[in-house]
Amino acid sequence: MEDKEYLCIIGPSGCGKTTLIKCIAGIIKPDEGEIYIDDRIVNDTPIQDRGIGYVFQEIALFPHMSVYDNICYGPFVKGLDISSAKNLINEILNMLELWDRVKDPPSILSGGAQQKTAVARALTSGSRLLILDEPLGSLDAKVRRVLRYELRRLVKDLGLTAIHVTHDQEEAMSIADRIVVMRSGEIVEIGTPLELYLRPKNLFTAHFVGEANFFIGDLLGEEDEGVKIDVNGNILYIPCKPSFEGKKVVLAIRPEFIIMKKTNGLKDAWRGMIEKITFLGSSLRFEVCTENDIMVIVKNPFSSEALGWRVGDRVNLVLSRDSLLLYPYPKEGLEKAISIE
Amino acid sequence: MRRQRAIASENVRLRLIRKIDDFSAKNLVKCAVYASSIIFFFTLILIPPIAGILENIGKLKTIYYDPSLLTSANLAIINSFTMAFTVATLDLIAALPLAWFIVRSKMKIVNFIDVLVDIPFLIPTAALGYSSLLFWSSQDGISRIFGMETLIPPGFALVLLLHFAFSYPVIVRVMVGELLTYREVYEVAARTLGAQPFTAVRTITLPLLKPGIIVSFLLAFARSLSETGATVIAAGNFENGPVFIFKNIDKVGEGALVYVSSVLILASTIIFFLIKLLAPSLKFPIKRAFPSIERKLSSYEVVKFRDGATILVFLIIVVAPSLFIALPVLSALLDGTVNEMVAGSELWNVFWRSMLISYAVGSISTLMNVVFGLPAAVLIARRKLGRATSIFKALVSIPIIVPSIALGVSLKFFWGKYGFIPEFWVIVFSHTTITYTYFVESMSAAIEGIPVEMEDVAGTLGAKPFTIFRRITLPLTKYAVFSGAILVFTRALGETGAAKAVVRTKEFQTLPVLLVDWIINKRATSSQSALGIGLYIISAFLVLLALRFIIRERRR
Amino acid sequence: MPSIRLVNVTKKFGGITAIKKLSLTINDCEYVCVLGPSGSGKTTLLRLIAGIIKPDEGEIYINNKLVNDVPPQERNVAYVPQYYALFPHLTVIDNVAFGPLSRGLRREEAYKVGMHMLEMTRLAWRAESLPYELSGGMQQRLALARGLACGAKILLLDEPLGALDARLRVELRFRLREIAKENGLTVIHVTHDQEEAIVVADRLIVLRGGEIQQEGPPSQVYNEPKNIFVAHFVGGANFFEGFIAETDPHGSWVQLRNGFILRVNETRWKVGEKIVIMIREEKTEIIKGIKRREDINLLPGTIKEASFLGDFVIYGILLDNGDNVNSKMPTLLGIGKFKIGERVYVRLRTEYLRAYPYPPQGLYQELKVM
């Protein structure tokens, strides 16, 4: 991890993401291996001397203290004079707009305000590294969406380094500089949000970071600069060479990258019929069954054309070559390989 | 054939359950069950002791004619409270680190210590008193190491040590429970903010555990205040309230008894509720932090030293005096006293009869408390009485607060009026009164632990009240029912004070009363006493073991 | 036919009114989502219908029968509370068979029904497990199976997906709707997640402070919100404060902060009235280039931030008059198209603009959902 980076760790529950950050914070000791903070090995440094600000999933504000006393706890236990830390405390209170709540006990605050207080508390001890464990998990969806941007802004404005753990891939993508995808205790992939979304190197990432269609196909052979693949009788051309052995492959494509047209005779198009339309608010989701019985999910943003589609309409799907992703067929089977539970 | 019979029997069962179910769904029936438990509480638990004292309040004036008796009565009362306060405070200081050690340490020795903690619980207090007496005061005990006749003679110091020992596990048990449910994340949060472990505990954990600390303090306080049998054995010339009543019950006029009992009842109730009301506003010192001192206090060496000292105190003052009784019992087994017992004599006939009475009294009062206490526990846990629930809860806690012998005295007056009630039943009722709180409080805590949602959902799934109780509430609290019953049973079995007060004829002496009589009036040889106590402990132990075994089986 | 009707129902807890004079009809086989922030009375509504609590005022009808005094066990309504309240001491199959057994079915039959339910929810292979051994998704399915095993045709779901991972939530909401439709159930599904509500519901009910703010098909509630709160809570929206500067038979001219002018198609406003204008984030357009004289509703500004959500990108633009606009566009169209600090125009088409009276307690207060 680099200085001043906002890193998100995502993965399904039980993938070990919380254990990982607890090891970093010193709450759990690793059985093997070393942890370095600022190039210094910290395996035997106790929690209180690591200088990490930690925001807990349970929020864990001290219920017997006021919001202000909670926020001052860091400087207080270090025996610092509160007045010397005053500037930092005031700055943080200003940024989080908590001034009118400072005298209240935490229990009467709304979830959002509690979480802000927890963040403020973690920052006043002067930590340059902030660890956030599902900081927004206990909040309403709408509040969550507002607060995540506030979090990022705070971290960037104060020039901190942050590790943010979440199971919500949308949250991670919208605020992270880089994302670590974890699954059963291992890192699956690391990359910027855009890399993970557009060019995931791993099947699981493709599935976990946003929706994707998966097709099982057979490698037919090379052609020009790419390969031809047979998916249930439909032939697709991909302009790149596979880096793996084996004939059986999996193709993936995001539903919003599929172009749906009424006009026949398009090159590489799959013909099919709309079976179901779901309203998603800012877009529509179609389930299309192709002539050779492949279920394809297509997401189209509103356009005058999309609004006109009805169930039963015959359509042509264009799977653009550049957005198709090619993977070897996993040994454990496709369903196992992408399963979240 | 067999299949048909099975179906037929299932039909009968289904029909029966459906009948009870329909019956239980009627509002009238629900009310009747709850009402009967409330009536039971008032007529058998609360009103008798109050009425017993109030009716005889006129006799109070007789004590003023005897100034020396009044002086010694007052001194005894003051001694009671001083002792209880000292013991509870010392216990808190000594037991809290042990509870901490049991919950937080990862050493293997923890399991062993955890078992040892319960020993003073399992040994009836009268036996514990004798054991302590032998350990600290007789020349066979620890005194021998120091080459003295008696290291600590019977009196204030011995009573203090004794009370310290039997109140100790109360605090450990309560605090272990509190620490297990305490959300450690607060402490971890404090440490991520830079607090040394000691600072985090002082400023965060202890203030948050305050309710538990108060509860455990009060329990230890009440236990010390109430204990009679063991105290009498260890008292020597020292006199506190229960000892005063015990010694004088047959000697002095009723005036002195009424005086001491009523003052004890009133004062203990007032002090108890005062502590309960005022203690929460006591503040822990959390206004300042001392990083460098507290860093040293959190160091490995200091922590090791603290654990070591705690365990040492625990072993020497709590475990050793409790277990010491094993030695005299063993020697009694070897020196021929057993043969005498087997041969039978007047002394041993009385012993076996007392044992029978004790067990009968214990089982019947347990049964009564379970049957009538369960609905009362539901009433409290689910706050069915609305705002009156807190009042009801406070009333329910009274029998545990008040010294049992004082309760016994007033019960003796109350039931004495109804000469037609057989003495045996008076004894049963008294034991029911003093043990009622234990069951209802532990049970209501267990029921509170089940989310109400669970019962709500069962209701929407079509279950009627009886089925909800039978298939959801009861199975989830089964363990609590059994352990509550065991608590009541052992408490009834070990009770000396109340029993001493209500027993009128020698034939109905319960076992602890008889054994205390043997020891302090030297009616039996020390060997006989030791054997009697050994049999008492072993039988109690076997019953407990059997009950626990049943629970274990049922839990599967 | 399973239907639910509430007439003027009020429920108070102490001094707080959780449900205020609420009337509502839910038809046979309808999938209704009740959407609202925490404390809006959603759970209370479900508990009233399930019969766990009784209304202080008003009537509740199930299948046209007044049920105010009918205890929960006779309402035949399947209630799935937020954290499921699975019976921890019973195995999976015992949990499911609990309902049928309680209703007096024979053991054998009850287990047959239970097994059938487990097969439907793909849990049959875990029949002998205890609830805590199951994963979050399986627990959710078990709660569903248990609720349905009594043959109830009305299903009350309290945040059924709230305890699950975000990604799983997205997968399971479709499945939830399928189960409901396959079994002909009438469902009331309570949630605070507007995305979830929009996707699964036939009809959406937006609740706030115990009162219904709006009800209707999701697309209608989304596209034609009745008030600012609904607009804000159901989907991303931009708001502008302003006042009516001029009206004519076809619409009105609205003056925003610092003299910016917008045209709206509404004619119901008087000159000088203070209003709030709303437009959905995805209905705004960002345009590079120069403004022509005849262009209306084209406001200059600077790109301040870009946020990538996966299938969408949101650009935050600071308009020159100090107002903020969020513009949401599909990733394919929008990614990397604009740079932070770039000067652009934002087009707000009149047909997408909606105007509301300015709320008396201020815009900020009205939009507060925390």
Give me the residue from B189, B203, B291 closest to A79, CB to CB. B291
* B97, B310 contact by CB (below 8 A): yes
User: CA of C195: which chain A residue's CA is closest?
Assistant: A280
> In chain A, positions 21-40, which contact chain B (CB-CB < 8 Å)?
25, 27
List CB contacts of A243: < 8 A, sequence separation 6 or more. Answer: none
User: CA of B185: which chain A residue's CA is closest?
Assistant: A60
Does the pLDDT value for residue B556 go beyond 50? no
Contact C85 B472 (CB under 8 A): no
User: CA of B474: which chain C residue's CA is closest?
Assistant: C89
Using a CB-CB cut-off of 8 Å, the residues of chain A touching B195 are 48, 73, 77
Closest CA to C203 of C166, C177, C172: C177
CA distance to partner chain B, nearest, from residue C75 (Å): 7
Is-same-fold flag (A6-203; A214-338)?
Answer: no
Give me the residue from C165, C196, C329 closest to A167, CB to CB. C165
Contact B460 C71 (CB under 8 A): no
Backbone angles phi, psi at B373, to 5 degrees: -80, -30
The answer to whether C104 faces chain B, any CB pair under 8 Å, is yes
Give the 3-state secondary structure of residue C349: coil
Tokens of C41: 């009375």
Residue B5 within any structural domain of the chain: no
List CB contacts of C52: < 8 A, sequence separation 6 or more. Answer: B456, B459, B460, C72, C79
The answer to whether A70 faces chain C, any CB pair under 8 Å, is no
Which chains have at least 3 CB atom pairs separated by less than 8 Å from chain A? Answer: B, C
The answer to whether residues B372 and B462 belong to one domain is: yes
CA B289 to chain centre: 39
- Domain C236-360: CATH superfamily is Nucleic acid-binding proteins (2.40.50.140)
The answer to whether residues B37 and B157 belong to one domain is: no
The answer to whether A62 faces chain B, any CB pair under 8 Å, is yes
CA distance to partner chain A, nearest, from residue C199 (Å): 6
Positions of chain C with pLDDT lower than 50, given as ranges: none
Distances (CA, A) of C300 to B163, C255, C277: 84, 15, 17
Using a CB-CB cut-off of 8 Å, the residues of chain A touching C38 are 110-111, 140
CA distance to partner chain A, nearest, from residue B193 (Å): 5
Contact C310 A171 (CB under 8 A): no
* Crossing angle between the packed helical segments A111-124 and A82-96, to the nearest 10 degrees: 140
Question: Which among B331, B359, B383 is the end of a domain?
Answer: B331
Give me the residue from C47, C52, C102 closest to B462, CB to CB. C102
CA C153 to chain centre: 22
**Distance from the first to the final alpha carbon of chain A:** 28
* A288, A317 contact by CB (below 8 A): yes
B128-172 pLDDT per residue, tens:
999 999 999 888 778 777 777 778 888 899 999 999 999 999 899
User: CA of B555: which chain C residue's CA is closest?
Assistant: C89
Ranges for all domains in chain C classified under CATH 2.40.50.140: 236-360
Using a CB-CB cut-off of 8 Å, the residues of chain A touching B197 are 46, 48
Does the pLDDT value for residue B283 go beyond 70? yes
User: CA of B183: which chain A residue's CA is closest?
Assistant: A60
Question: Which among B331, B354, B372 is the end of a domain?
Answer: B331
Using a CB-CB cut-off of 8 Å, the residues of chain B touching C76 are 462
CA distance to partner chain C, nearest, from residue A28 (Å): 24
The answer to whether residues B318 and B347 belong to one domain is: no
Backbone angles phi, psi at C15, to 5 degrees: -95, -5
Using a CB-CB cut-off of 8 Å, the residues of chain A touching B290 are 79
CA A162 to chain centre: 15
Helix H segments across B182-205? 185-192, 197-200
Tokens of B61: 């004036």
Section B459-476 average pLDDT:
87
Ranges for all domains in chain C classified under CATH 3.40.50.300: 4-230
The answer to whether residues B326 and B351 belong to one domain is: no
Distances (CA, A) of A105 to A95, B195, B421, B431: 20, 21, 58, 46
User: CA of B182: which chain A residue's CA is closest?
Assistant: A60
Rounded-to-integer distance, Cα B501 and Cα B410, Å: 9
B384-443 pLDDT per residue, tens:
888 888 899 999 998 888 899 999 988 888 888 887 888 899 999 999 999 999 999 989
Rounded-to-integer distance, Cα B297 and Cα B306, Å: 10
User: CA of C222: which chain A residue's CA is closest?
Assistant: A281
Using a CB-CB cut-off of 8 Å, the residues of chain A touching C198 are 279-281
Contact B461 C146 (CB under 8 A): yes
Radius of gyration of chain A (CA): 25
The answer to whether A306 faces chain C, any CB pair under 8 Å, is no
Report the pLDDT value the prediction gives residue B555, as an integer from 0 to 100: 46
Instruction: State percent of chain B over pLDDT 90.
Output: 35
A244-266 pLDDT per residue, tens:
777 888 999 999 888 888 877 77
Report the pLDDT value the prediction gives residue C97, as an integer from 0 to 100: 92
Backbone angles phi, psi at A23, to 5 degrees: -65, -40
For the residues of B423-436, what is the DSSP string, one character each? Answer: HHHHHHHHHHHHHH
The answer to whether A141 faces chain C, any CB pair under 8 Å, is yes
Contact C199 A279 (CB under 8 A): yes
Rounded-to-integer distance, Cα B31 and Cα C183, Å: 40
∠ CA B267-B270-B276, nearest 5°, is 135
Question: Which among B331, B364, B382 is the end of a domain?
Answer: B331
pLDDT in tens, chain A (341 residues): 777 899 999 998 888 898 999 999 988 888 888 888 888 888 888 888 888 899 998 888 999 899 999 998 988 888 777 777 788 888 888 888 888 888 899 988 888 889 999 999 998 888 889 999 999 888 888 888 888 988 998 999 889 999 999 988 889 999 999 999 999 889 999 999 999 998 999 999 999 988 899 999 888 887 777 888 888 888 888 887 777 777 888 999 999 888 888 877 777 788 899 998 888 888 889 999 988 888 999 987 666 677 788 898 888 888 888 888 889 898 888 888 888 77
Give me the residue from B185, B195, B208 closest to A48, CB to CB. B195
Report the pLDDT value the prediction gives residue C1, as an integer from 0 to 100: 60
For the residues of B132-152, what is the DSSP string, one character each? Answer: HIIIIISTTTGGGTTT-S-SS
Using a CB-CB cut-off of 8 Å, the residues of chain C touching B476 are 88-89
Using a CB-CB cut-off of 8 Å, the residues of chain B touching C75 are 460
Report the pLDDT value the prediction gives residue A303, as an integer from 0 to 100: 66
Using a CB-CB cut-off of 8 Å, the residues of chain C touching A340 are 165, 167-168, 171
Report the pLDDT value the prediction gives residue C302, as an integer from 0 to 100: 94
CA distance to partner chain B, nearest, from residue A100 (Å): 23
The answer to whether residues B369 and B259 belong to one domain is: no
List CB contacts of B336: < 8 A, sequence separation 6 or more. Answer: none
| Confidence class for position B289, pLDDT limits 50, 70, 90 | confident
Biggest CA pair distance of chain C: 82
* C124, C115 contact by CB (below 8 A): yes
Return the residue in C44, C73, C75 with the most chain B beta carbons within 10 A, the one to mutate for interface testing.
C73
Domain count for chain B, please give it: 2
User: CA of A136: which chain C residue's CA is closest?
Assistant: C166
CA distance to partner chain A, nearest, from residue C283 (Å): 9
The answer to whether B464 faces chain C, any CB pair under 8 Å, is yes
Instruction: State percent of chain C over pLDDT 90.
Output: 46
The answer to whether A75 faces chain C, any CB pair under 8 Å, is no
Backbone angles phi, psi at C59, to 5 degrees: -125, 150
Using a CB-CB cut-off of 8 Å, the residues of chain B touching C83 are 453
For tokens 């017997």, the residue is A64
> In chain A, positions 205-244, which contact chain C (CB-CB < 8 Å)?
208-211
Contact B192 A48 (CB under 8 A): yes
Q: Where are the domains of chain A?
A: 6-203, 214-338
Q: What domain range includes position B479? A: 33-57+336-556
Report the pLDDT value the prediction gives residue B267, as an integer from 0 to 100: 92
Which chains have at least 3 CB atom pairs separated by less than 8 Å from chain C? Answer: A, B
The answer to whether A307 faces chain C, any CB pair under 8 Å, is no
| Residue contacts between B and C (CB atoms, under 8 Å) | 71
CATH of the domain at B536: 1.10.3720.10
Rounded-to-integer distance, Cα C304 and Cα C285, Å: 15
The answer to whether residues B278 and B407 belong to one domain is: no
- CA quadruple B2, B3, B5, B8: dihedral, nearest 10: 180
∠ CA C352-C356-C361, nearest 5°, is 140
Q: How do strand C16-26 and strand C4-13 relate by DSSP bridges?
A: antiparallel
The answer to whether residues B156 and B52 belong to one domain is: no
The answer to whether residues B452 and B425 belong to one domain is: yes
Contact C85 B451 (CB under 8 A): yes
CA distance to partner chain B, nearest, from residue A81 (Å): 10
Looking at domain A6-203, which CATH architecture does it have?
3-Layer(aba) Sandwich (3.40)
* A25, A52 contact by CB (below 8 A): yes
The class that CATH gives domain C4-230 is: alpha beta
The answer to whether B491 faces chain C, any CB pair under 8 Å, is no
Type and span of the H or E element at A297: strand A295-301
List CB contacts of A284: < 8 A, sequence separation 6 or more. Answer: A277, A278, A299, A300, A301, A302, A306, A307, A309
CA distance to partner chain A, nearest, from residue C272 (Å): 32
Closest CA to C326 of C239, C266, C259: C239
User: CA of B193: which chain A residue's CA is closest?
Assistant: A74
Biggest CA pair distance of chain B: 85
CATH of domain A214-338: 2.40.50.140
Residue B433 within any structural domain of the chain: yes
Using a CB-CB cut-off of 8 Å, the residues of chain C touching A171 are 166
A165 half-sphere exposure, CB direction, 13 A CA radius: 22
